[in-house]
Structure 1
Amino acid sequence: MTDRYVYIDPIFSKGAGALVGLSLHENNSSALRIFRLLTGTCTIHDVFFNKKFKSAINYLNFPYTQNSRSNKKTLLEMFPEDVTLEDISEYFCKLKNNEEFYASIEFELINCVVARKSERYLESFIFLYRILEGISYSIPLIYVSKSRSFNASFRSLQQYMPTKNNEGELLFFKNFIKTHWSKENFYKLTLDIDIGSIEVEEMRSIYFKIYKEKAKNCIEGETEDEELKITFLGFMQFMIELRNRYFHFLQGGWQKNISTSQIIFPDLFFKPIVDLGINWISIALFEVIKFDMENHGKT
């Protein structure tokens, strides 16, 4: 981790005792840092610019919520009632598996959150998409690696594999989600784009039309120029479509790309998407953390 960002812990001071595994002062685990970032229970100090960013949005709630204050309860309420703070601390102390995966995601996530806090929404979306790509192949492999049967593992992987060479890792992840998470409560909920959060009123109908066009058949409900409700799985495809249509600008093809002259304010265009996207990514990452906890020590 570069020295540019330093974590400030508003909950635990040094000498946290049995809860040392949850302390950002005493545990440098990337998985812990991701957990604390996503629960909105830390402050990020950008040493280079000498700026501090208080992370106060709990993205592990679905939909995400604003923390009134950071405390131990915020960390505990993410888990079932029979799990204690000591249990969570012990897990983060002993966690060694998949640390390389968590470390690769951590720096992308902190840049995503800092850009969002600075209202650089286009930049934040870039890091958000990098995280999506970063987890798309790793998460299914983490699940399969815990299987005690090689044959079962191979059959599981076969279920997710794309059938065409150009379909890639994102489809691999999409197939995994449909197989493993379709019965989870969050899978049945929608991500609701609030068009009213766009400050320039003249752009709302324009953005609404573009969002709707790119969301295609993933829309569960809508209120014209006010709100779009997109399915959990569909939101992943929506993020991919936005990335492909805005960051690619080849002319003359069959795909209808988004030009900057259409949206005029790129940061404003991505503003209603970013928090929802971080919320989506957070749910996926937390499923891995919980899965790691449940299968800790298995080979």
Structure 2
Amino acid sequence: MTDRYSYAERILFVPGDISAGLSLIENNSSALRIFRLLTGTCRLLDSFDGKGILLNRNYLKIPSGLVKRPSMRQIEDAFDDVDLKYVSDCFKKLSENEDFYKLIEFELINCLVAKSRERYLEAFLFLYRIIEGVSYSIPLMYVSKSRSFNKTYKSLQKFIPKKESEGELAFFKNFMESHWSDSWFYNITFDLAMDVIDIEEMRPVYYALYLDKAGKNVLDSTEDEEIKMSFIQFYSFMIELRNRYFHFLQGSWQNNIKTSQVVYPDLFFKPIMDLAVNWIAVVLFEVMKFDIEKAH
């Protein structure tokens, strides 16, 4: 854990078989902490200002939803038809890839804290760092568990981009299209809604910018109200948005976003953030389930 933030348990206070693996008091693994952060069942204490930060949105559901009363229900719902004692045992034994989870945990905390404090631009920056952190690691984690060297090599060959300039993010996209295309979440839509934009006159402006940067990565749209994207389309949208907002070279052919267009940067990223955390939550939980399955 960082020196700045500490966890407060909200649902598991009595020691027992289930709490041994699932309680934030008894188990300090980064995988469990990420899981609990994403289920909206924990609270952080910021040692810098002494304030508590309530993280009460369940991002393992699509769309995400507020958790009014945290309970074991959020943990049960994440694992279909699995005994909680089994889940607890899994998290107790889940020590592989701890370095990976620890790096992601720090970025996720900063992302969720910034979002809870309505610093949406900052939250998106940390979210993008998570995407970059998983883009190369996850495909390698999957293929490294293959029992056949030839199969592993062929898998990696399939994911490697044909253009050298495409890099690790394209590598990850190829992996997802190849490995997760039959998964339950692959065809779920991510609905980018304009009604969360508090300044009404900015809705058509932001809608036009979102639609322009989404390009072909759109399933459907309602003018100035909503843009629908698939799982893989939303990934491409986040990459493009980052490239066009954080890059500002004027001599290139790319149509970068100007600050004068955005006016309110935090407001611009506000509609995106819950969807973006929802997206990365699905990815991280898929990896956890894969690690759990391989460990058992």
Is TM more than 0.5 here?
A: yes
- Measured in 1, the distance between the counterparts of 2:66 and 2:204 equals 28
Query: Does structure 1 conserve the Cα–Cα contact (< 8 Å) formed by 2:192 and 2:226?
Result: yes
Structure 1 residues 52-71: aligned runs within 5 Å:
52-71=52-71
1:133-171 C-alpha deviation (Å, 9 max, x unpaired): 000001111111111111111111111001121110000
Q: Which amino acid aligns with 1:128?
A: L
Residues 1:157 and 2:164 aligned together:
no
User: How far is the alpha carbon of 1:18 from its aligned partner?
Assistant: 4.0
| Kept after mapping to 2: 8 A contact 1:191/1:231 | yes
Corresponding residue number in structure 2 for 1:219 = 218
- Secondary structure of 1:45's partner? strand
Within 5 Å, give how 1:196-211 maps onto structure 2.
196-211=195-210
Residue in 1 that maps onto 2:147: 148
Matching of residues 15-34 of structure 1 within 5 Å:
15-34=15-34
CA deviation after TM superposition for structure 1 residue 16, in Å: 3.5
The Cα RMSD (Å) is 1.0
> Which stretches in structure 1 are left out of the alignment for 5+ residues?
none
CA distance in 1, matches of 2:47, 2:127: 22
Q: How many residues align?
A: 296
* 1:41 counterpart residue number: 41
- Where 1:7 maps in the other structure, the secondary structure is strand
The answer to whether the 8 A contact 1:19-1:85 is kept is: no
SS of the counterpart of 1:192? strand
Q: Distance in 2 between matches of 1:12 and 1:207?
A: 42
Whether the 8 Å CA contact 2:42–2:54 is kept in 1: the answer is: yes
In structure 1, the residue matched to 2:250 is 251
What's the CA shift for 1:21? Answer: 0.7
Q: How much does 1:17 deviate?
A: 3.8
SS at 2:295 equivalent: coil
Between the aligned partners of 1:57 and 1:251, the Cα distance in structure 2 is 39
The answer to whether the 8 Å contact 1:57/1:64 transfers is: yes
1:28, distance to aligned residue in structure 2 (A): 0.6
Q: Does 1:280 align with 2:279?
A: yes
Using the size of structure 1 for normalisation, the TM-score is 0.97
Say if 2:17 and 2:85, in contact at 8 Å, map to a contact too. Answer: no
**Deviation (angstroms), 1:294:** 1.1
Distance in 2 (alpha carbons) for counterparts of 1:34 and 1:2 = 14
Q: Tell me the amino acid that sits aligned with residue 136 of structure 1.
A: S
SS at match of 2:45: strand
Percent identity, aligned pairs only, is 56
Alpha carbons 2:41, 2:71 under 8 Å: kept = yes
Q: Aligned equivalents of 2:68 and 2:126: distance in 1?
A: 27
Q: Give the CA deviation at 1:19.
A: 2.6
TM-score calculated relative to the size of structure 2: 0.98
How many angstroms does 1:96 deviate by? 1.2
Q: Secondary structure at the match of 1:119?
A: coil
Correspondences of 1:88-237 after superposition (within 5 Å):
88-237=87-236
List, as ranges, runs of 4+ consecutive aligned residues in structure 1 with deviation greater than 4 Å. Answer: none
Determine the C-alpha separation between the residues in 2 that align with 1:3 and 1:90. Answer: 28
